[in-house]
Amino acid sequence: MRLLTVDPGMRSGFGLFVTGEPPRAESYQIPGSPERLGEAVAGFDQVLSTLIGRWKPEVIGYATLFIARYDTCETVGPIFAFIGKAEELAFRRRLRCICCDEREARDAFGGIPRKNTTKIKNAVKIGCRTRGWHVPDDHAGDSLVIGDFLMSVLEPSNAHTRTPLFTAATMPAFLKRPANKGKRRANQSK
Protein backbone atom coordinates (compact mmCIF):
# COMPACT_ATOMS: atom_id res chain seq x y z
CA MET A 1 0.00 0.00 0.00
CA ARG A 2 1.32 3.43 -0.96
CA LEU A 3 -0.54 6.38 0.55
CA LEU A 4 0.18 10.03 -0.30
CA THR A 5 -1.28 12.42 2.28
CA VAL A 6 -1.89 16.12 1.85
CA ASP A 7 -2.22 18.91 4.41
CA PRO A 8 -3.45 21.61 2.00
CA GLY A 9 -2.68 25.30 2.41
CA MET A 10 -0.49 28.01 0.91
CA ARG A 11 2.30 26.09 2.65
CA SER A 12 1.28 22.47 2.08
CA GLY A 13 2.60 19.36 3.79
CA PHE A 14 2.85 16.04 1.98
CA GLY A 15 3.53 12.61 3.45
CA LEU A 16 4.19 9.20 1.92
CA PHE A 17 3.36 5.99 3.74
CA VAL A 18 4.53 2.70 2.26
CA THR A 19 3.78 -0.58 4.02
CA GLY A 20 6.85 -1.79 5.89
CA GLU A 21 8.86 1.44 5.50
CA PRO A 22 9.15 4.58 7.65
CA PRO A 23 7.08 7.47 6.28
CA ARG A 24 8.54 10.42 4.41
CA ALA A 25 7.36 14.01 4.63
CA GLU A 26 7.98 17.17 2.65
CA SER A 27 6.60 20.68 2.75
CA TYR A 28 6.26 23.17 -0.10
CA GLN A 29 5.37 26.85 -0.35
CA ILE A 30 2.71 26.95 -3.06
CA PRO A 31 3.42 29.64 -5.67
CA GLY A 32 0.81 32.36 -6.02
CA SER A 33 -1.35 33.99 -3.37
CA PRO A 34 -4.89 33.63 -2.00
CA GLU A 35 -5.86 36.79 -3.91
CA ARG A 36 -4.77 35.15 -7.18
CA LEU A 37 -6.50 31.82 -6.68
CA GLY A 38 -5.95 30.57 -10.24
CA GLU A 39 -2.18 30.90 -9.86
CA ALA A 40 -2.25 29.19 -6.47
CA VAL A 41 -4.32 26.24 -7.75
CA ALA A 42 -2.00 25.85 -10.76
CA GLY A 43 0.99 25.86 -8.40
CA PHE A 44 -0.61 23.24 -6.13
CA ASP A 45 -1.46 21.12 -9.20
CA GLN A 46 2.18 21.27 -10.32
CA VAL A 47 3.56 20.27 -6.88
CA LEU A 48 1.04 17.45 -6.33
CA SER A 49 1.45 16.12 -9.90
CA THR A 50 5.23 16.02 -9.42
CA LEU A 51 4.89 14.12 -6.13
CA ILE A 52 2.40 11.65 -7.61
CA GLY A 53 4.83 10.99 -10.47
CA ARG A 54 7.77 10.57 -8.09
CA TRP A 55 6.12 8.65 -5.23
CA LYS A 56 3.61 6.61 -7.30
CA PRO A 57 0.85 6.33 -4.66
CA GLU A 58 -2.16 4.03 -4.87
CA VAL A 59 -4.25 6.23 -2.56
CA ILE A 60 -4.39 9.98 -1.88
CA GLY A 61 -5.60 11.07 1.55
CA TYR A 62 -6.42 14.41 3.15
CA ALA A 63 -8.26 15.78 6.17
CA THR A 64 -11.59 17.57 6.03
CA LEU A 65 -11.41 21.31 6.39
CA PHE A 66 -11.89 22.90 9.80
CA ILE A 67 -13.14 26.48 9.60
CA ALA A 68 -12.48 28.70 12.61
CA ARG A 69 -14.61 31.73 13.48
CA TYR A 70 -11.91 34.13 12.33
CA ASP A 71 -11.38 32.48 8.91
CA THR A 72 -12.36 34.42 5.80
CA CYS A 73 -12.94 33.53 2.16
CA GLU A 74 -9.35 34.52 1.45
CA THR A 75 -7.97 32.01 3.98
CA VAL A 76 -10.23 29.01 3.25
CA GLY A 77 -10.76 29.55 -0.49
CA PRO A 78 -7.37 28.10 -1.52
CA ILE A 79 -7.80 25.11 0.79
CA PHE A 80 -11.19 24.22 -0.75
CA ALA A 81 -9.66 24.63 -4.21
CA PHE A 82 -6.62 22.46 -3.31
CA ILE A 83 -8.85 19.68 -1.96
CA GLY A 84 -10.85 19.80 -5.19
CA LYS A 85 -7.63 19.67 -7.22
CA ALA A 86 -6.40 16.63 -5.21
CA GLU A 87 -9.73 14.88 -5.87
CA GLU A 88 -9.50 15.74 -9.58
CA LEU A 89 -5.91 14.45 -9.90
CA ALA A 90 -6.86 11.23 -8.11
CA PHE A 91 -9.83 10.78 -10.47
CA ARG A 92 -7.80 11.47 -13.62
CA ARG A 93 -5.05 9.05 -12.56
CA ARG A 94 -7.53 6.41 -11.32
CA LEU A 95 -6.30 6.62 -7.73
CA ARG A 96 -8.45 6.09 -4.68
CA CYS A 97 -9.02 9.31 -2.71
CA ILE A 98 -10.07 9.25 0.95
CA CYS A 99 -10.48 11.82 3.68
CA CYS A 100 -10.66 11.84 7.46
CA ASP A 101 -11.36 14.29 10.25
CA GLU A 102 -8.07 15.88 11.36
CA ARG A 103 -9.20 16.10 14.99
CA GLU A 104 -10.02 12.37 14.98
CA ALA A 105 -6.60 11.64 13.46
CA ARG A 106 -4.89 13.74 16.16
CA ASP A 107 -6.85 11.98 18.91
CA ALA A 108 -5.77 8.59 17.54
CA PHE A 109 -2.16 9.81 17.32
CA GLY A 110 -2.27 10.59 21.04
CA GLY A 111 -0.90 13.28 23.32
CA ILE A 112 -2.12 16.23 21.27
CA PRO A 113 -4.12 19.01 22.97
CA ARG A 114 -7.41 20.18 21.47
CA LYS A 115 -6.93 23.92 22.01
CA ASN A 116 -4.15 26.41 21.28
CA THR A 117 -2.76 26.08 17.77
CA THR A 118 0.86 26.56 18.85
CA LYS A 119 0.65 23.72 21.37
CA ILE A 120 -1.06 21.47 18.82
CA LYS A 121 1.65 22.10 16.19
CA ASN A 122 4.45 21.49 18.72
CA ALA A 123 2.80 18.29 19.99
CA VAL A 124 2.47 17.00 16.42
CA LYS A 125 6.18 17.60 15.71
CA ILE A 126 7.22 16.00 19.02
CA GLY A 127 4.94 12.99 18.43
CA CYS A 128 6.38 12.43 14.96
CA ARG A 129 9.97 12.74 16.17
CA THR A 130 9.23 10.35 19.06
CA ARG A 131 8.30 7.78 16.44
CA GLY A 132 11.59 8.44 14.64
CA TRP A 133 9.98 10.25 11.70
CA HIS A 134 11.77 13.19 10.06
CA VAL A 135 9.48 16.25 10.15
CA PRO A 136 10.69 19.42 8.37
CA ASP A 137 7.83 21.57 9.75
CA ASP A 138 4.34 21.46 11.26
CA HIS A 139 2.60 21.16 7.87
CA ALA A 140 4.55 18.01 7.04
CA GLY A 141 3.82 16.78 10.58
CA ASP A 142 0.09 17.23 10.03
CA SER A 143 0.31 15.21 6.81
CA LEU A 144 2.02 12.41 8.76
CA VAL A 145 -0.69 12.44 11.46
CA ILE A 146 -3.35 12.19 8.74
CA GLY A 147 -1.41 9.41 7.00
CA ASP A 148 -0.87 7.47 10.22
CA PHE A 149 -4.61 7.49 10.90
CA LEU A 150 -5.58 6.58 7.33
CA MET A 151 -3.03 3.73 7.21
CA SER A 152 -4.52 2.28 10.41
CA VAL A 153 -7.93 2.35 8.67
CA LEU A 154 -6.63 0.96 5.35
CA GLU A 155 -4.37 -1.68 6.96
CA PRO A 156 -5.76 -2.48 10.42
CA SER A 157 -3.54 -5.56 10.81
CA ASN A 158 -0.40 -3.34 10.70
CA ALA A 159 -1.76 -0.45 12.82
CA HIS A 160 0.27 -1.49 15.89
CA THR A 161 3.57 -0.98 14.03
CA ARG A 162 3.09 2.81 14.04
CA THR A 163 2.57 3.23 17.80
CA PRO A 164 5.32 4.99 19.82
CA LEU A 165 6.03 1.90 21.96
CA PHE A 166 6.49 -0.40 18.95
CA THR A 167 8.61 2.20 17.17
CA ALA A 168 10.87 2.68 20.21
CA ALA A 169 11.30 -1.08 20.63
CA THR A 170 12.43 -1.52 17.03
CA MET A 171 14.52 1.68 16.88
CA PRO A 172 18.31 1.32 16.63
CA ALA A 173 20.10 1.98 19.94
CA PHE A 174 21.92 5.08 18.67
CA LEU A 175 18.58 6.84 18.00
CA LYS A 176 17.14 6.19 21.47
CA ARG A 177 17.42 8.88 24.14
CA PRO A 178 20.15 8.31 26.71
CA ALA A 179 18.95 7.77 30.28
CA ASN A 180 19.25 10.70 32.67
CA LYS A 181 21.99 9.45 35.01
CA GLY A 182 22.07 12.59 37.13
CA LYS A 183 18.48 12.23 38.39
CA ARG A 184 18.01 12.45 42.17
CA ARG A 185 15.86 9.93 43.98
CA ALA A 186 12.63 11.30 45.41
CA ASN A 187 13.31 9.91 48.90
CA GLN A 188 16.94 11.00 49.01
CA SER A 189 17.68 13.49 51.77
CA LYS A 190 19.59 16.70 51.09
- For residues 87 and 101, give the distance between their C-alpha atoms in angstroms, rounded to a whole number: 16
- pLDDT at 6 > cutoff 70: yes
Classify residue 187: in a domain, yes or no. Answer: no
User: Closest Cα partner for 58 from 85, 100, 18, 30?
Assistant: 18
Strand, coil or helix: 97: strand
Reported as a pLDDT band with limits 50, 70 and 90, residue 190 is very low
Domain that holds residue 109: 2-169
Summarised one tens digit per residue, pLDDT across range 141-162 is 999 999 999 999 998 887 666 5
Query: What share of the chain has pLDDT > 70, as a percent?
Result: 83
Classify residue 65: in a domain, yes or no. Answer: yes
Give the chain's domain count: 1
Reported as a pLDDT band with limits 50, 70 and 90, residue 163 is low
- For residues 157 and 44, give the distance between their C-alpha atoms in angstroms, rounded to a whole number: 34
Classify residue 180: in a domain, yes or no. Answer: no
Mean pLDDT score of the chain: 85
CATH of the domain at 112: 3.30.420.10
Reported as a pLDDT band with limits 50, 70 and 90, residue 4 is very high
- pLDDT at 20 > cutoff 70: yes
Reported as a pLDDT band with limits 50, 70 and 90, residue 177 is low
pLDDT-wise least confident of 77-86, 117-126, 138-147? 117-126
Helix crossing, 117-130 with 102-109: angle to 10°? 50
Classify residue 190: in a domain, yes or no. Answer: no
Q: What is the largest CA-CA distance in the chain?
A: 70
Classify residue 140: in a domain, yes or no. Answer: yes
Alpha-helix runs per DSSP H in the chain: 37-55, 73-92, 102-109, 117-130, 138-154, 164-170
Classify residue 189: in a domain, yes or no. Answer: no
Classify residue 14: in a domain, yes or no. Answer: yes
Query: Do the beta carbons of residue 96 and residue 58 sit within 8 Å?
Result: yes
Classify residue 9: in a domain, yes or no. Answer: yes
Summarised one tens digit per residue, pLDDT across range 127-141 is 898 888 999 999 999
